[in-house]
Amino acid sequence: MKKQPPAKKNQRKLSGKNSTDNLYADRRKMIRWIGVIVVISFICFASALKNDLVNWDDYAYIRDNQAIRTLSPDNISHIFNYKTFIAGNYHPLTILSYAIEYKVAGLRPFLYHFDNIILHLLNVILFAWMIWLLTKKINATVISAALFAVHPMRVESVVWAAERKDVLYTFFFLSALICYILYSVKSGYQVRYYISSLIFLLLSLLSKGQAVVLPLTLFLIDYWYKRQFGTKQVLEKIPFFILSLLFGLIAIQAQASSLTVQRLISHTPVERIIFAFYNLTAYIYKLIFPYNLSCFYSYPATGKMWIIYSGAVITLILIALVLLRYRKNQTVMFGILFYIFTVSIVLQLIPVGNAIIADRYTYIPYIGLFFIIGILLDKLITQFPRWKKPVTVIILLQLLIFAGVSAAQTLTWKNNETLWKHVISLNPKEGMAYNNLAGSYMESGDLEKAQGLLLTGTLYKENYPEYYKIYNNLGSYYFRKGNNIKALQYFDTAVSLEPKFSNTKFNRGLTYTNLEKYDEAISDFTSLINSNGNKNPDWYYSRGNAYKKMNLIDSAIADYGRAIQLKPDYYGAYTNLGNIFANTGDMDKAINNYNLALKYASDKDKGLTYHNRSIVYFRKKDYRQALSDAETALSLKEHVTPDYFRSIKAGLAETGKR
Is residue 513 situated within a structural domain? no
pTM (2 d.p.): 0.86
596 lies in a domain? no
Q: What is the DSSP string of 247-301?
A: HHHHHHHHHHTSGGGHHHHHS-HHHHHHHHHHHHHHHHHHHH---S--S-EEPPP
Instruction: Say if residues 366 and 406 touch (Cβ distance below 8 Å).
Output: no
Nearest CA to 217 out of 337, 46, 103 is that of 337
pLDDT in tens, 245-261: 999 999 888 877 665 44
CA distances, 655 to each of 581, 611, 622, 623, 624 (Å): 25, 21, 10, 9, 10
Distance (Å) of CA 157 to CA 6, 11, 131, 160: 58, 51, 21, 6
The answer to whether 308 and 275 have CB atoms below 8 angstroms apart is: yes
The structural domain count of the chain equals: 1
3-class SS of residue 581? helix
Type of residue at 608:
L
pLDDT of residue 59: 93
Angle value at C-alpha 491, between 490 and 493, nearest 5 degrees = 65
Tell me whether residue 647 is in a domain: no
Establish if 627 belongs to a structural domain: no
What would the pLDDT profile of 322-361 be if each residue is shown by its tens digit? Answer: 888 888 899 999 999 999 999 999 988 777 777 889 999 9
Q: Look at residue 613 and tell me if it is in a domain.
A: no
Q: Do residues 640 and 630 touch, judged by C-beta distance below 8 A?
A: yes
SS3 355: strand
The whole domain housing 148 covers 30-411
pLDDT at 8 (0 to 100): 41
* Pairwise CA distance, residues 443 & 639, whole Å: 27
The span from the CA of 143 to the CA of 145, in Å, is: 6
In this prediction, residue 47 carries a pLDDT of: 96
Q: Report DSSP letters for 489-558, one per residue.
A: HHHHHHHHH-TT-HHHHHHHHHHHHHTT-HHHHHHHHHHHHHHTTT--HHHHHHHHHHHHHTT-HHHHHH
Q: Is residue 166 part of a domain?
A: yes
pLDDT at 463: 75
6 inside domain: no
The stretches in the chain having pLDDT less than 50 are: 1-16, 260-261
Mutual angle of helices 502-514 and 468-480, in 10-degree steps? 30
DSSP string, 47-75: GGGGPPP-TTTHIIIIIT-GGGS---HHH
Length of the chain: 658
Catalogue the E-assigned strands of 405-506. Answer: none
Q: 66 in a domain, yes or no?
A: yes
pLDDT at 386: 87
